[in-house]
């Protein structure tokens, strides 16, 4: 009984510690939400942790569609859709390319395959700043400077190294016997990929979707360097909105804009976070 009592006390302590940690990390989100639905007068007169006297959604309307006075009167809406048009194709294409690359490197060995894989791994650790000048030159030669298509290309090129690494490490856990059996039955490269590999790939596809979407959506450096006036993503627009000098700092609008910019990635993690964890650990047994 004494050992059982000590075990219960230990579990209670762990749960309390986890609750405190969760509250600590959720506190900024709580402050952002409550501040975004307060008026400026209420923000100045009250406490950050106070609940709003009444819900006021004017800040959300202003952050989304504009209607502001000052240097810029444009809200986040067009830039939000710029990010959608940039992130969705970049995620899909880089994930598909990474899947094929990982399949080749895991089950179709060729001379120099390990060198290729090592080079791709090195690509995962190259800082953004290193590729800015050569990428700018490439986009200029391709006629894609300051366009959404150019940003899509940038994120595909930079993301392929990560997606290939994820897929290769996952596919080495697929038994070689399955691939060899398919070859004996006469299946070729793409038939094996479509019939054997793809049905087993849902967990790692979810990992790459979440990883790539988060990286691309939250990117600021590539967006501000390669995005033109009409192609800037929402992160650049958020920075411009917060740093626009109008004489009065509208904290409620800034908080609402920050939440709008973060909603897609937050929602993705809430809906598919468990698949992200499963996919990361699924290929950890072999390779």
Q: What is the pLDDT of residues 128-152, one digit of tens each?
A: 888 899 899 999 999 888 899 999 9
pLDDT of residue 129: 84
Q: pLDDT at residue 80 above 80?
A: yes
pLDDT of residue 16: 93
Task: Compute the distance between CA of residue 57 and CA of residue 54 in angstroms, rounded to an integer.
Answer: 10
Task: Compute the distance between CA of residue 240 and CA of residue 222 in angstroms, rounded to an integer.
Answer: 15
Q: Specify the CATH number of the domain 77-282.
A: 1.10.3720.10
Torsions phi, psi of 122, nearest 5?
A: -60, -35
Once rounded to an integer, what is the mean pLDDT over residues 11-28?
92
Between 76 and 48, the more confident residue is: 76
CA 161, 166, 169, 171 dihedral sign is negative
CA 67, 68, 69, 70 dihedral sign is negative
Task: Compute the distance between CA of residue 104 and CA of residue 101 in angstroms, rounded to an integer.
Answer: 5
What mean pLDDT, rounded, does the chain reach? 86
Spatial neighbors of 32 by CB under 8 A, at least 6 apart, are: 255, 258, 259
pLDDT of residue 131: 86
Please tell me whether the overall predicted TM-score, pTM, comes out greater than 0.95 for this model. no
pLDDT of residue 118: 87
Once rounded to an integer, what is the mean pLDDT over residues 244-266?
86
Once rounded to an integer, what is the mean pLDDT over residues 175-187?
85
Single out the residue of 234, 190, 193, 211 nearest to residue 280, CA to CA.
211
């Amino acid at each position: 009984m004494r050992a059982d009592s000590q075990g219960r006390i230990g579990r209670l302590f762990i749960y309390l510690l986890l609750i405190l940690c969760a509250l600590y990390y959720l506190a900024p989100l709580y402050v952002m939400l409550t501040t975004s639905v307060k008026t400026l007068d209420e923000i100045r007169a009250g406490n950050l942790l106070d609940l709003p006297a009444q819900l006021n959604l004017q800040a959300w309307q202003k952050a989304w569609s504009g209607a502001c006075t000052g240097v810029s009167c444009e809200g986040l809406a067009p830039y939000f859709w710029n990010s959608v048009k940039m992130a969705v194709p970049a995620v899909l294409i880089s994930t598909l390319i990474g899947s094929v690359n990982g399949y080749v490197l895991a089950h179709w060995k060729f001379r120099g395959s390990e060198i290729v894989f090592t080079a791709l791994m090195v690509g995962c650790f190259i800082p953004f700043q290193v590729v800015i000048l050569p990428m700018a030159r490439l986009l200029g030669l391709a006629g894609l400077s300051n366009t959404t298509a150019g940003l899509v290309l940038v994120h595909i090129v930079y993301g392929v190294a990560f997606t290939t690494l994820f897929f290769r490490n996952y596919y080495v856990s697929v038994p070689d016997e399955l691939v060899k059996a398919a070859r004996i039955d006469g299946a070729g490269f793409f038939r094996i990929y479509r019939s054997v590999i793809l049905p087993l790939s849902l967990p790692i596809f979810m990992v790459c979707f979440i990883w790539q979407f988060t990286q691309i959506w939250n990117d600021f450096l590539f967006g501000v360097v390669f995005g033109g006036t009409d192609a800037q993503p929402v992160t650049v627009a958020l920075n411009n909105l917060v740093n626009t000098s109008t004489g009065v700092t509208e904290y409620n609008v800034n908080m609402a804009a920050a939440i709008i910019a973060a909603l897609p990635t937050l929602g993705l993690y809430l809906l598919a976070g468990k698949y992200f964890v499963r996919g990361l650990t699924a290929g950890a047994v072999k390779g």
